Amino acid sequence: MSERTVYLDHAATTPLDPRVLEAMLPYLTEHYGNPSSMHRLGRAALQALDDAREQVALILGCSRREVIFTGGGSESINLALKGAALARRMAGAHGHLIVSAIEHHAVLHAAEYLQQHHGFEVTLLPVDERGLVRPDDLRAALRPDTALVSVMYANNEIGTIQPIAELGAICREAGAPLHTDAVQAAGALPLDVETLKVDYLSLTAHKFHGPKGVGLLYARRGAPLLPQINGGAQERRRRAGTENVAGIVGLAAALTLAEERRPTSAEQVRALRERLVDGVLAAVPDSWLNGDRVRRLPGNANLGFAGLEGESLLLLLDQAGICASSGSACTSGSLEPSHVLLALGLAPEAANGSVRFSLGHSITEADITYVLETLPPLVARLRAVAAQGAEREPVAA
Ligand SMILES: *Cc1c(COP(=O)(O)O)cnc(C)c1O
């Protein structure tokens, strides 16, 4: 086991920034009031909520009333999809949804739920071999009864960035609202909702050095939304339950820090990512980069290796102290290839031979040097084992 740890899984989660923890601590200790209480402790908590909402609204370029705090990315996405789709159907006869084929499971499974339990028709928008939605495909898929379109801003597996503003303009022309899962975009791309032309936008704090279990949904003023958690009047009756005050304070602090850091850190992270990709592609034969080379998040490198299982490589990397991950899901002991990589047109074996490295702002040149020294021999070792196994296999007569 290696002493060293190189964390290259920032798309899964990020470490909490110590400054964020510091901002949160008073609301876990002396300021423990419930924001709905009228007394001084309640008022102090409410003030913290108001300040956090103001801070976040400034970054999103929206009004405070359009910000709904939630319990994370999956909850925000479920509120957007179910809340918007069901509200629109109540108002008219809207029974059609459009989602891209490479969405996070929170979007895909919420759409599936609406299909199975509420009779919605769902159109899956394909992507090209670089992982990008073609605006013309959206144009063709839109119908007069489309209740909602959901296309992610940046993909969590391959990092590709969708032309959201262009898709937003197309949706507006057709009178259909657009939700974007911006979870991976925060801290890397601008989040101004007017520029993006979106009606709903989801974020989660733990992907930008905030705490886990807290997120937000931006819902444009007047955009229909049926609450999915009923109870008290919190969040203007759109999300009941006593607010996670410390978490919300942490989210706002983390998003503010991420925005301040964005111009410099994006370039620095991109340069390290380029070095990693170039280094691996040069040192490892039969390797490739998944997803568009340019239109991708600065920190994402999704690399494919012919003739091996990505899961086996991840185990060896972990032993060497390198934390990365794959998009494949292990269901009942067998590996399901990533739906994202399959949507790009990769064969299942190529998809299963892919590994995602996601960098953050604390990654150094020395970290990348270590990965470039460690990875190529591990790939060669796995391929040698696979070749030996194939030799020993009885040859059918
Ligand atoms: C992590 C992630 C989510 C889910 O967010 P949680 O806060 O973990 O529920 C949704 N979409 C994308 C693109 C993600 O990367």
Per-residue pLDDT tens digits for 340-381: 999 999 999 999 999 999 999 999 999 999 999 999 999 999
Backbone angles phi, psi at 305, to 5 degrees: -130, 120
- The string of pLDDT tens digits covering residues 186-213 is 999 999 999 999 999 999 999 999 999 9
- 68: phi > 0 → left, psi -120 to 50 → alpha, else beta; which? beta
pLDDT value for 395: 54
Number of Cβ within a 10 Å radius of residue 17: 21
Q: What is the mean pLDDT of residues 293-322?
A: 97
pLDDT value for 340: 97
Task: Take atom 15 of ligand 1 and give the residue whose Cα is closest.
Answer: 156
Cβ pair 212, 203 in contact under 8 A: no
User: Residue 374: enclosing H or E segment and its boundaries?
Assistant: helix 365-392
Alpha-carbon gap, residue 80 to 203, rounded angstroms: 11
pLDDT at 219 over 70: yes
Alpha-carbon gap, residue 83 to 238, rounded angstroms: 9
Q: Report DSSP state, residue 128.
A: -
- 34: phi > 0 → left, psi -120 to 50 → alpha, else beta; which? beta
Cβ–ligand 1 distance for 106 under 6 Å, the answer: yes
84: closest CA among 102, 97, 99, 66? Answer: 97
Closest ligand 1 atom to residue 206 Cα is 7
Cβ pair 254, 20 in contact under 8 A: yes
Q: Which residues contact 321 (CB under 8 A, 6 or more apart)?
A: 1, 2, 3, 4, 5, 6
Cβ–ligand 1 distance for 156 under 6 Å, the answer: yes
Q: Which residues pair with 201 in a beta bridge?
A: 180, 218
pLDDT at 330 over 80: no
User: Residue 322: enclosing H or E segment and its boundaries?
Assistant: strand 322-323
Share of the chain above pLDDT 70, in %: 96
Test site for ligand 1: of 74, 155, 158, 300, most ligand atoms within 8 A of the Cβ:
74
Cβ–ligand 1 distance for 104 under 6 Å, the answer: yes
- Domains belonging to the chain, first-starting first, are 6-13+262-388 (3.90.1150.10), 18-257 (3.40.640.10)
* Rounded (5°) CA angle 72-78-79: 90
315: closest CA among 306, 307, 324? Answer: 324
171 is catalytic: no
Cβ pair 109, 167 in contact under 8 A: no
Beta strands in 184-223, from DSSP E residues, in sequence order? 200-204, 215-219
Number of Cβ within a 10 Å radius of residue 21: 16
Cβ pair 38, 355 in contact under 8 A: no
Angle between helices 365-392 and 310-319 (to 10 degrees): 130
Q: How many residues does the chain have?
A: 397
Closest ligand 1 atom to residue 12 Cα is 1
Alpha-carbon gap, residue 81 to 179, rounded angstroms: 8
- The string of pLDDT tens digits covering residues 266-306 is 999 999 999 999 999 999 999 999 999 999 999 999 999 99
Cβ pair 170, 121 in contact under 8 A: no
CA distances from 115 to 85, 96, 111, 147 (A): 11, 9, 6, 12
Q: What is the mean pLDDT of residues 60-81?
A: 98
pLDDT value for 335: 78
Structure tokens at 104: 């996070």
Cβ pair 186, 208 in contact under 8 A: yes
Centroid of ligand 1 to alpha carbon of 373 (angstroms)? 31
Centroid of ligand 1 to alpha carbon of 250 (angstroms)? 17
